[in-house]
Each structure stands twice: as structure tokens, then as C-alpha cells.
Structure 1
Amino acid sequence: MTATSDLGTPRLASPELLRSVFRRHAAGVAVITARGAAGPVGFTATSLTSVSAAPPMISFGIGTGASSWPAIAEAGHVGVHILGEHQQDLAATFARSGADRFGPSTAWREGPEGVPLLDGVPAWLVGRVAARVPAGDHRLVLAEVVLGDPTGAGRPLLYHQGRFTALRD
């Protein structure tokens, strides 16, 4: 028996290699929000992960050059919103630099701890920030979940091959 390699030609690690590989990884789409000194801030994230069940903890990454970073760097609490497939426009708004993310087209309210909560999402959490860990040009934010609601309607929104998409049946 002869083994053949399906691994292709390896490439040296680079930011482009990482982006190319992760374009092939389907990820759920979330919006992270916080109360900032000048008003609410938020951004689209595909880096959301469940970290621990006891205590309930989550994590997400944010670039230190992101417009939301200064508020996230100081926030005691964050909102985490799982987006539905019907919310591609909302995901795009929170991903777009310079967008009026909390303008008239975004339905939201002030939630516990002053965290901005988006309306109409399939699920949301409020987390108390426990740590901000340096990770290259990003920070990994760890938050302990203090409150949430998993009862919203809708199927999850995904991000794959550089675009928002939905589950297929």
C-alpha cells in the first residue's frame, strides 16, 4: 500500500495564509456591544466561543485598531448577540467601518449594566469582563455570563468564504 498526500503544497505562515484557511471555516455570526463614554459601540464577530460551563464563560477577539476597542478596553460588561439568517444587513452594518451602527435602522435598547441590547436576535447574553489577554494585534476578551435569553426566533447566520450565508436543509 502506498500513501499519497492530499495536503497540497505547504505555505509559510502569514496573515494571508491564516485568512485563506479560515475562509473555509464556517462560523456563527455575533454582534458584540458595550457602553462607551461617547455612546454605544459594537462590532460583528465570528470569533465567539464558549469557554466554560462552570462558571459560564465566553470569549471573543477584537483588533486593537478597531473603533470599538477603546470602549471594550474599559467596559465592565459586554452584550453578545447571536444573529439570525434574517439579519445579514445588521451584520454588515456592524462590520462596516464608519457605519452609524446604532442609527435609526438598528432596533436596540439599554439593557442590564447599561449594555446596548439588539432587538430581534435569536439569543443574547450579557457578560462581565473577566480578562483581556494580549494576542498579537488583537485582544482575547473573556467574560463571565451573568444574564441572557435564548428564546428569540430564527435560524443562525453564518460567515463562510468571505460572505454571510444561511444553513442549508
Structure 2
Amino acid sequence: MTATSGLGTPRLASPDLLRSVFRRHAAGVAVITAQSEGGPVGFTATSLASVSAEPPLISFGIGTGASSWPAVSQADHVGVHILGEHQQELAGTFARSGADRFGEPTRWREGPEGVPVLEDVLAWLVCRIVARVPAGDHRIVLAEVSLGDPSGVGSPLLYHQGRFNGLRD
């Protein structure tokens, strides 16, 4: 029996292969925000990860062609927001190119360090950026947690098979 027995035909590495594989990986949905000279910016991220507890570090990826990248590349701090399953529309707004991400119906306020903080999320953090690591056409941003609030109510929003979903029992 070979390692690929019972599986489909393996394909060579490509952007399409990577996207196809990761469509099968359910990921939590977060919105990353920052303040820029032109106002608040933000984007939907499914790449958020806890990196270290001591010191408390997180990471996320952002494409260098993303509209939020210029602000994130210069920002000292970012907001990290864990979305609830009731926030599919908000996730879509922050994922859509050209959307008015901070206009109605988005509810937000200026938080610590001037970072835009979204309301009604499951949890949020304000983090100080400590590194931006080149990774192909993206950057992996490492940030140290400064403060946050984990007290939101609800179940997490997930991204799977190209769609936003809630948990199913």
C-alpha cells in the first residue's frame, strides 16, 4: 500500500493547489484594523495565529497588494477582532475590495493607541507590531498584545469552502 492509495492524483505545487487545499481547512475569521493618515483601514483575515504566550504574540498574513498594506506597513499598532457567527456581513464587507468598511452599518470607535476597535465582536486585542517578515507576495506580521477584551458573547465565525459559516453541532 502506498502513501497515496485511495487518494486522488497528486498535483504539482501551484497557487491553485494551495487555494484548493486550504478551502478544506476551516479557519477562524478576524478583522485586522489600523489607523492611517487617510483614516481607518481594515481587512478580513483567516491567517490569525497565536504565536507565544510569554511574551503574548500573535501573527497574521497580509498581501503586499492589499489596500490595507500601506497602512499596516507603517502602523505601530493594530486592532485584532475575533468575529462571531452573527457577523458574516461584516466579514464580507472587510473582505470586499472597494467597500466602505467603516461606514454604516459598521459600528466602531477609536480605541487605545488610536486603533479602530469594532463593536459587538467576540473578542478584541490591541497589539504593537514587532516585525513584518517577507513571505512571497505577503508579509507575516508579528505583534505583541498590549491589551484586549475577551468578553463578547456568541459562537465564532469560520471560513470554509469559500464561505463564512457558524459552528454546527
RMSD: 1.0
SS of alignment partner, residue 58 of structure 1:
strand
Equivalence for 2:85:
85
Equivalence for 2:140:
140
Equivalence for 2:41:
41
Equivalence for 1:28:
28
The aligned runs of 1:1-169 (5 Å cut-off) are 5-169=5-169
CA distance in 2: counterparts of 1:107 and 1:17, whole angstroms: 37
Which AA in structure 1 matches 2:161? Q
TM-score, normalised via structure 1 length: 0.97
CA distance in 2: counterparts of 1:5 and 1:149, whole angstroms: 47
CA distance in 1: counterparts of 2:104 and 2:39, whole angstroms: 15
Q: For residues 45-91 of structure 1, what are the alpha-carbon distances to aligned partners after superposition, in whole Å with 9 as ceiling and x for unaligned?
A: 00000000000000000000000000000000000000000000000
Which AA in structure 2 matches 1:23? R
CA distance in 1: counterparts of 2:160 and 2:11, whole angstroms: 22
Paired residues in the alignment total 168
CA distance in 2: counterparts of 1:7 and 1:132, whole angstroms: 38
SS of alignment partner, residue 102 of structure 2:
coil
CA-CA distance at 1:104 after TM superposition: 1.9
CA distance in 2: counterparts of 1:38 and 1:137, whole angstroms: 24
Which AA in structure 2 matches 1:159? Y
SS of alignment partner, residue 89 of structure 1:
helix
Detail structure 1 runs of 4+ shifted over 2 Å in the superposition. none
CA distance in 2: counterparts of 1:7 and 1:63, whole angstroms: 32
Q: For residues 80-108 of structure 1, what are the alpha-carbon distances to aligned partners after superposition, in whole Å with 9 as ceiling and x for unaligned?
A: 00000000000000000000000021100
SS of alignment partner, residue 24 of structure 1:
coil
TM-score, normalised via structure 2 length: 0.97
Q: For residues 100-126 of structure 1, what are the alpha-carbon distances to aligned partners after superposition, in whole Å with 9 as ceiling and x for unaligned?
A: 000021100000000000000010001
SS of alignment partner, residue 143 of structure 1:
strand
CA-CA distance at 1:7 after TM superposition: 3.3
